[in-house]
Amino acid sequence: MRNYKIIVADDVVDTRMLIEKMISPVCEICYEANNGQEIIDILSSKEIDIILTDIDMPKVNGLEATELIRKNFDSPKKDTPIIAITGYASLPFTERCKRFGINLVLSKPLNETEIIKAIERLCKYRK
């Protein structure tokens, strides 16, 4: 297992803490974001391997942040894998997320093994 630089974005502090604990075996550095604008700000100034984001957040939501990253950043930052973490991962919603540029949608409640495997799979060819 490798260690990655990861943004964890959720407006609920307890959720961010839970996700950070789950991903700790594969996380070198974890940057916290309360909303999509903070994701953009962190990505602008740091080298990031993957982004884990909630969808419903204030200011800029997870879908809007993904769209901004895909449209406004240059490679390799615009190609940063993004996992959406949501409580409503229906097929139509998942398809909508993918249209915005989300690589994978995971449903709450999260499973530690599932999230670590997803990170490993999406970051496999990043370095």
Give me the numbers of helices (H) and strands (E) for the chain, helices first please.
5, 5
* Cβ–Cβ < 8 Å for 9, 65: yes
Contacts of residue 17, defined as CB under 8 A and 6 or more positions apart, other chains included, come to none
Name the pairing type of β-strands 104-107 and 50-54.
unpaired
Number of alpha carbons in the 13 Å side-chain half-sphere of residue 35: 6
Q: What is the pLDDT of residues 60-95, one digit of tens each?
A: 999 999 999 999 999 999 999 999 998 877 888 899
CA 32 and chain centroid, separation? 11
Judged against a pLDDT cut of 70, whether residue 1 lies above it is answered with no
Q: What is the pLDDT of residues 27-38, one digit of tens each?
A: 999 999 999 999
Architecture label for domain 4-123: 3-Layer(aba) Sandwich (3.40)
| Structure token digits, residue 89 | 């991962």
Four-residue CA torsion sign, 66, 67, 73, 76:
positive
Alpha-carbon distance 35 to 123, whole Å?
A: 23
Strands (E) across 3-69 are located at 4-9, 27-33, 50-54
The pTM assigned to this predicted structure is 0.95
Q: What's the pLDDT score for residue 93?
A: 87
Domain residue extents for the chain: 4-123
Q: What's the pLDDT score for residue 125?
A: 73
Judged against a pLDDT cut of 60, whether residue 55 lies above it is answered with yes
* Cβ–Cβ < 8 Å for 82, 50: yes
